[in-house]
Amino acid sequence: MQAARHVVCAVSGGVDSAVAALLLRRRGYRVTGVFMRNWDSLDEHGVCTADRDCEDAYRVCQILDIPFRQVSYVKEYWNDVFSDFLNEYEKGRTPNPDIVCNKLIKFRCFFNYAVDNLGADAVATGHYARTSLEDEEVFQQKHIKRPEGLFRNRFEVRNAVKLLQAADSFKDQTFFLSQVPQEALRRTLFPLGELTKDFVKKIAAENRLHHVLQKKESMGICFIGKRNFENFILEYLQPRPGRFISIEDNKVLGTHKGWFLYTLGQRANIGGLREPWYVVEKDGAKGDVLVAPRTDHPALYRDLLRTGRVHWIAEEPPAALVRDKMMECHFRFRHQMALVPCVLTLNQDGTVWVTAVKAVRALAPGQFAVFYKGDECLGSGKILRLGPSTYTLQKG
C-alpha cells in the first residue's frame, strides 16, 4: 500500500486556512500545518497580532490532530516586500504588497521550506482559487524533471498549469495570485476553490473550529492594521509638504504633508472645504497634488496604460498574443472590481499596452493590471504609465 501523500498547508489562524487543512485531512492526506510570521508589530492595544494568530493556528492544528510548525520570514518580508512597498510610495506609485508577498514569501520561501525541509508532496493554502490539475496530477509533478538551459521553452512540450477563478466569484483571490511562479503553482492544492465562504464557515462551525470563526476578516494591508495610513507611512518616509491645486483653474486649495501619501481617485481631505475633492494627478517634481470636484470628474477616467514586463502564469504569453501581437481579454486592477474588457498589445520587451473598451476610474501607477480570459487568470504586469485622462482629451 502506498504511503499517504504529505501535504504542507499554510495556516494563518483564520477560518479559511483552518478549513483547508481540515479538508485535506478528510481526503486522507498526511497534513502538516505551518504558520508564517512575516511581520512583528503591536496593534492599537499593544498586543502582538502575530502572536495571537500563531496561537490560533496552533489550536487549529491541535483540534485537527496534525503537526504544527512555525517559520519566520520577518527579514525576507522586510527586505523583499516592505522595502519595495516604501520604495514604490516614495516614487508616487500605489503598490500592492499582498501580490508581492504571495510571489516572494508564500510561493517561494514557504514553498521551498515545505518541499526541501519537510519533504512535502504538495503545498496548500486557504486561497479561493483553482488550478487545472486534479490532486493526483499535482502529486505527480514531483517526478517531472524541469528542463534546464536557456532554450528550454522553445523545445519542450510542457503543459503549463492554469490558474482558474474560484467557484465563489465574489471571494475569488486569483488577483492576489497573479504573480505566482508556475513551478510552485504546479505543486499547490487549493481545497477551497470549489466552495463558497458561507459553506466554509458552516464546515468550521461543525468541526469545533469556533475560535477562528469569531475572528474578523483580515482586510487591508496586513502590516498597517487599523492604524491611520498617513501616520504609518510618515513613520518611515520624510514629510514633503506641498499644495493641493484645482485641475480646472489652477487655484491653490490647501496644503498636504507629501504627494506620495495620495493615490489617484482617493478623496483629498482639504481643510476648510465642504465639498469633496478627488486626487486626479500628482506632480512629483513640484510636490503638488492636482484635484478635481466630483467623484465622477472626467479627469479621473483613462482608457490606456502600459505595464512593466508581464508575469505570465504559463511562463509564456498566450499564443494568440504572440501570433497577432494583439488580443482581446479582460483585466482588473483592484480585487473584486468588475472585469473590464480590453485589448492587449504586446511590445518587444515583454511589456504590454492595455486599451480598455471604455475609460475606467482611478487607474494608478504601481498597481497590478491582472489579465483574464474566461475563468483563467493569465498573469499580471505592474502599471508604469498612464495615457491621458478623458478630461485632458476633451480639452484637446
121 and 165 share one domain? yes
Which residue do the cell numbers 518587444 mark? 348
74 and 178 share one domain? yes
**pLDDT 10s digits, 315-368:** 999 999 999 999 999 999 999 999 999 999 999 999 999 999 999 999 999 999
Give the mean model confidence (pLDDT) for residues 109-122.
Answer: 97
**pLDDT 10s digits, 50-68:** 899 999 999 999 999 999 9
324-352 burial, b at 16+ Cβ within 10 Å, e below that, comes to eeebebbbbbbeeeeebebebebeeeebb
DSSP secondary structure string for all residues of 166-188:
-SSTTT--GGGGTT--HHHHTTE
46 three-state secondary structure: coil
List the one residue out of 284, 47, 87 whose CA is nearest residue 56. 47
CATH number, domain containing residue 108: 3.40.50.620
**The domain containing residue 256 runs over which residues?**
238-295
Domain count, the chain: 3
Q: Which residue has the higher pLDDT, 212 or 222?
A: 212
193 and 286 share one domain? no
For residue 116, pLDDT over 60 is answered with yes
41 and 172 share one domain? yes
10 and 52 share one domain? yes
Q: How confident is the model at residue 185 (pLDDT cuts 50, 70, 90)?
A: very high
Cβ(268)–Cβ(278) below 8 Å = yes
Q: Is residue 366 part of a domain?
A: yes
List the one residue out of 41, 66, 68 whose CA is nearest residue 54. 68
64 and 79 share one domain? yes
134 Cβ contact partners less than 8 Å away, ≥ 6 residues apart: none
Q: What percent of the chain has pLDDT over 90?
A: 85
Q: What pLDDT, on a 0 to 100 scale, did the predictor assign at position 157?
A: 46
82 and 210 share one domain? yes
191 and 67 share one domain? yes
Q: Which residue has the higher pLDDT, 302 or 217?
A: 302
289 and 317 share one domain? no
Mean pLDDT, the chain, rounded, equals 93
pTM of the model: 0.94
CATH number, domain containing residue 256: 2.30.30.280
List the one residue out of 235, 224, 227 whose CA is nearest residue 257. 235
346 and 388 share one domain? yes
Residues taking part in catalysis:
101, 222
